[in-house]
Copies of this chain bind each other. A is one copy, B any other.
Amino acid sequence: MNSLTEENYLKAIYKLVDGEKVAVTTNAIAEKMNTKAASVTDMLKKLSDKKLINYEKYYGVKLTAKGEKIALNIIRKHRLWEMFLVEKLEFGWDEVHDLAEQLEHINSEKLVAQIDKFLNYPKVDPHGDPIPDSNGKLQIQKSALLSTFKKNEVCMMTGVVDHSPTFLQYLAKTELTLGSTIKINDINDFDRSLQITAGKAKPFFISNEVAKNILVSLK
């Protein structure tokens, strides 16, 4: 079994790699974990001894298959719990993250399987992030940033880049929710802000900053 701390390190490393083939640096992990580089080095040795990461001094780390599987399982649990909180317990999508960080470490295969079943095997979490299956397979969703679309194009909102409560609360006040159909009515040449129509609401403005944090499907 791995400690809570070990699990959090593996998750952090997984998120920092995220597709890119480069190794993750000690400092990057330290920043993500809100800790010091020296502490990270200690933990990397430990994870390396356990064969959960490939670690070369001064170079960086990559997850082994074993380490990645553990990371994906934690992410699976995190996203299932978020879904449960939002779908069954009336939580808002902006208030589930920290709580899911606690719940993701609960150790029970049966519990995860039952929650999954109870939610009717969801494919994505409340933020549109894909939920890994029980084998650690992740459905890759092809999506693009709303900011890359052109005038008069239509698309569907599938997720967010920024997960901060502030951003999510802002979105909750608009018609921009997962599944919303978005039409780009106009783009301001000066600041790249957009005038859009989302769902059946009146057209409204969003900044380019916001558009860069909204994921949409290429349809």
Q: Which A residues have a C-beta under 8 Å from some C-beta of B? A: 85, 88-91, 95, 99, 102-103, 106-108, 110-111, 114-115, 118
Contacts and interface: CB of A to CB of B under 8 A. Distances in A.
Given A89-B115, A89-B118, A118-B89, A102 B110 contact: no
Nearest to A98: B108
B102 A106 contact: yes
Contacts of A108: 99, 102
Contact of A107 (B90, B95, B102): B102
18 contacts: A85-B111, A88-B118, A89-B111, A89-B114, A89-B115, A89-B118, A90-B114, A91-B110, A91-B114, A95-B110, A99-B106, A99-B108, A99-B111, A102-B106, A102-B107, A102-B108, A103-B106, A106-B106
Contacts of A107: 102
A63 to B, nearest CB: 25
A113 to B, nearest CB: 9
A102 B112 CA distance: 14
Interface hub of A88, A91, A108, A118 (most chain B Cβ within 10 A) = A108
Contacts of A90: 114
Nearest to A88: B118
